[in-house]
Structures are given as structure tokens and as C-alpha cells.
Structure 1
Amino acid sequence: MALPVPAGLKFFSILLLALYPFLVWFGLSSGQHMLLGFVLVVLFGLRFSLLRNLLPELQKIGQLGAVVGVLLVSASLLLERQALLLYYPVAVNGIFLLLFATSLLTEQSLVERLARLREPDLPADGVSYTRRVTQAWCVFFILNGSIALVTVLLQDVRLWALYNGFISYLLIALMMGVEWIVRRKVRNRKATNPLS
């Protein structure tokens, strides 16, 4: 029987992973590559083990991200190539793109599965809407991952940390906010004109 995971520990691991770009920036600029690598491997291992009681797809995303993180950090340490650490945000966008895009090939898109957690009897127009939202997220991950890759190739760790540790999160929040506004408008329009 698995022991319950304290909520504070889960929050702490999520917070540290969100700060990954700044941890890398600090570790590389202070010359603490080995210590940084050790901390990151422990952090990714912790994250992998804490992903329970989630929707299987979200658990898969988190665990795959943790495995990729460990592989990149390990390769960076073994090959003494610090720049490999910078590819993690690119890989995460690729993982999200892969899971969102492959869900479009199934009967239920990933966004539909998430929507059905709140609304099990999702109507046909809701199914169509969630499929379009899944497609929009795919476009987002392509663009965000491409910009993340450009920040790696520019070899400016400060710019890389700024984009991947701050601007990227703002863009995710903006995307979620716009989708929430659009969803409310679509629901309101449907409520006021149910035959449309």
C-alpha cells in the first residue's frame, strides 16, 4: 500500500521544477555544475515518484518529463556539456505536443478527457469544442517549443532563463485565460440561443 504524499512536498517539487530555468542559470553562472546536476536528478526523481492520483495522461506527461530531465542532466554531467541542460523546456514542449496531438487520433482528445472530469455527459458541441482546443494547444506547443529552442541556440543563458522561466509561463497563463473567456462566451451563446 502506497503511503500518502504530503501536499506540501508535491507543491515544493512543482515549484522547484517551475524554477528550473533559474536553478540552471544560477548553477551554471556560479560554476556549480556538479551540485546543480545532483540537485536536479534528485528533484526529477522526487517528481516522478510523487505523480499519483492524476488522470493517466497527466501522470504520463509528468513521468515522461521527469525521465527526460534525468537523462538530460545525466548526459550533461557525463559528457561535460552544460548546454544539454538548456534543452529541457524544448523537450517538455515536445512531450506535451506529442500527447496532445496523438490524442487527436483517438476517440476522445486530451482536453475532452479533462472536460469530462467535470462534465461527464459532455454534449456533441462540447466534444467538437474540446477537439479544437486540443488543436490550439498543439499549435501553442509548436510555437513555444520553437522559441525555447531559439533561446538555446542563441547561447545566452540569461535570455534562456527569462523566456523559459517567466515569459513562457505568462504565455501559458494567457492561453488558458483566453480559452476560459472563449469557453464562457460559447456557453453563454448556447444558453441564450439553444437551437443555434
Structure 2
Amino acid sequence: MKRLVGLGLVVAGLLYPFAVYFGMAHFAPWQFGLLLAGLWLARALSEPRRAGSHWMAAVAIGFCAVLALLDNPALLRWYPVLINACLLGLFGLSLKFGPPVVERLARLREPQLPQAAIRYTRQVTQAWCVFFLANGLVATALTLWAPLSWWTLYNGLIAYGLMGLLFAIEWLIRQRVRGRS
């Protein structure tokens, strides 16, 4: 169930800009809010309880509640900004309170990381923080000043392309770093 809910959130996130662009003629903002809130609530309920593990879901559900209550189509465009802010918070706070997110992910595959790998994962986490900040700022600018078509193109396609590019660049760098070790 947990994987199904997680997959639902990923698919909803990927399709969200297009759903907003094509769906606003057929659905009210409160319907988007209820659907997203339901997915985030299901995620929160299906995850194990750990300290601080549900804050992102709580923020997203709060946003969805505001969206549903105000039923304002302009609010629909702020969701990508919210997600980037939450991811920036997650990655940034992991740098301060540790271990960094990328280190945690690396330890799933290799529990005993060498010191050089720990430093590297910290740098990668910092790079993701820069990405989420820049991506969130672009999403904010498009939300405030661009037509819906530009917002949809960036948040539904270009932002994911940039994420893929960052993943690819990091993978290439990691291969070089590992080759030197």
C-alpha cells in the first residue's frame, strides 16, 4: 500500500502542471485540493511514525486545505513552489542536523561509507539544495508573472529535464571520483 501511495504522489506530481493546464476548464480548484490532500494524507498514514517524518505531508495537506477552502485557481500554480521549498528544507536541514539526505541514500546501498564518500555526499546534498532553491525561484517567477502555458512547460517538462541532467552529471562525477579511489 505504501508503494502504491508513493507512486500515486509521484505520478500526481509529474502530471500536476498538465492537469492544471488542461483540467481547469473541467475541475474546480477545491477538487484539485481534495485529491492532493487525500494522496498526502494516505502517504502520512502509510509511513512509519518517526520524529519529524510527517512535516512535509502536514505542510502539503495544509496548502491543499487552503486551496480547497479558498477555491482560487491562482493558488493551483503555487504547488510546485511549495514542493521545492519543502525539498530545500528537507535537504538543507539534513545538512545542519545530519546525516545529509544523499548520505542516507548512499548508506542504503553501502552501509560503511569511507570518509571521502561522506564528504562527497554532503557536497551532492548541497548541490541539490542549490537546485531546489533555483528551481523554486523560477517556479515562483513563472507563477507571478508568466502565462499558464509557460508555467506548465517549465514545471511539467523543463524542471524534470533539469533534474535528470543534475542526476546524470552527478552520476558521471561519481564514476570519476570512484575511479580515483
User: Which position in structure 2 is the counterpart of 1:32?
Assistant: 27
Identity over the aligned pairs, expressed in percent?
Answer: 39
Provide the residue aligned with 1:158 in structure 2: 149
What is the letter of the counterpart of residue 133 of structure 1? V
- Report what 1:124 is aligned to: 115
Alignment gaps of 5+ in structure 2: none
Unaligned runs of 5+ in 1: 191-196
Change (3 A) 1:117 1:53: farther
> Paired residue for 1:168?
159
Q: Which shifted more, 181-190 or 71-80?
A: 71-80
Q: Distance in 2 between matches of 1:92 and 1:13?
A: 12
What RMSD over aligned residues (CA atoms) do the two structures have, in Å?
2.5
The residue type paired with residue 125 of structure 1 is A
Report deviation, 1:111.
Answer: 1.0
Q: Which has the higher contact order (CA 8 A, sep 6+)?
A: 2
Classify 1:155/1:130 alpha carbon distance in 2 versus 1 (closer, same or farther; 3 Å): same
Name which one, 1 or 2, has greater alpha-carbon Rg.
1
Q: Tell me if structure 1 keeps the 8 A contact 2:100–2:121.
A: yes
After TM superposition, the structure 1 stretch with the greater mean CA deviation from structure 2, 125-134 or 10-19, is 10-19
Aligned partners of 1:108 and 1:95: how far apart in 2? 17
Establish whether residue 17 from structure 1 lines up as the match of residue 13 from structure 2.
yes
Deviations 1:129-162, CA, capped at 9 Å, x for gaps = 0111111111111110000001101141111111
CA contact (8 A) 2:9 2:39 kept: yes
CA distance in 2: counterparts of 1:10 and 1:74, whole angstroms: 20
* TM-score normalised by L of structure 1: 0.79
Q: CA deviation at 1:9?
A: 5.5
Report the alpha carbon displacement of residue 114 of structure 1 after superposing the two structures with TM: 1.2
Letter of the aligned partner of 2:62 in structure 1?
L
Residue 136 (structure 1) aligned with residue 131 (structure 2): no
1:84 Cα deviation after fit: 1.2
1:1-196 matched pairs, under 5 angstroms: 5=1, 7-8=3-4, 10-28=6-24, 30=25, 32-33=27-28, 36-50=29-43, 52=46, 60=53, 63-190=54-181
Runs of 4+ in structure 1 over 6 Å off: none
